[in-house]
Amino acid sequence: MEEITVKNFGDYTVKGVKTFMGTDAGGYNATLYRNGKKVAFVIDEGRGGEAHIQWIPEVRESESLLLKLHVDSLPLIPFEGHPDKPLKIDESWFVSDLVAKWEFERDVARVEKKVRKDCQTKTLFRLTSNKAGEWYVINSPCTEERKARLREKYGSTLSEIVNERFTNVSAVTT
């Protein structure tokens, strides 16, 4: 997944994202929304070019102008090796980063759902030596006794008992 460079997405979101492998890169189809209202359909064919924005006809002029104004308000992006030539974000870049943000949030939600489910029947814990997103798994439920034993055994190297993040693990839906 590409690094997300845009930090201010304003009132814009995407939904209905479908990704696929194009001839040169990954492509996508998505619906662009502003303030929860559908304003355009976007396609990146995965051929290395820009994404194409197909505006809803009745809002084409106003929404394309609003998106341009928002994108023009964004800061320039430093260009590695050329500090005197920063890059200007355009509408295609903006929407592509919005899709990347959507994919990142979807992936985080998937991992959280799996961790919540694992916490129902297993004990998950992290040590200070673990990398981000890494933990140990004991294939039995997390009990107060088990937590006490982990704290006793690992002391200050016990970074976290992951099960404690989720106070209501039984609320997981499958």
**In this predicted model, what pLDDT tens digit does every residue of 109-163 receive, in sequence order?**
998 899 999 999 999 999 999 998 899 999 999 999 999 999 999 999 999 999 9
Q: Are residues 17 and 102 in the same domain?
A: yes
The answer to whether residue 36 sits within a structural domain is yes
Which amino acid, one-letter code, is at 98?
L
Does residue 53 lie within any of the structural domains?
yes
Segments in the chain forming alpha helices (H):
60-72, 91-121, 144-154
Q: Is residue 32 part of a domain?
A: yes
CA distance 150 to 140: 13
Residues 6+ apart with CB under 8 A from 59: 39
**Residue that finishes a domain, picked among 110, 133, 152:** 110
Q: Which domain holds residue 77?
A: 12-110
Does the pLDDT value for residue 86 go beyond 90?
Answer: no
Residue 172 reports pLDDT greater than 50: no
**How many structural domains does the chain have?**
2
Q: Where are the alpha helices (DSSP H) in 73-169?
A: 91-121, 144-154
Quickly tell me which residue has 């981000």 as its tokens.
132
Q: Is residue 4 part of a domain?
A: no
Does some domain include residue 115?
Answer: no
Residues 85 and 140 in one domain: no
Find out whether 53 and 44 touch, Cβ atoms under 8 Å.
Answer: no
Report if residue 7 sits inside a domain: no
Confidence of residue 171 (pLDDT cuts 50, 70, 90): very low
51 with 135, same domain: the answer is: no
**Same domain flag for 19 and 75:** yes
Q: Are residues 36 and 101 in the same domain?
A: yes
* Domain stop point among 57, 90, 110: 110
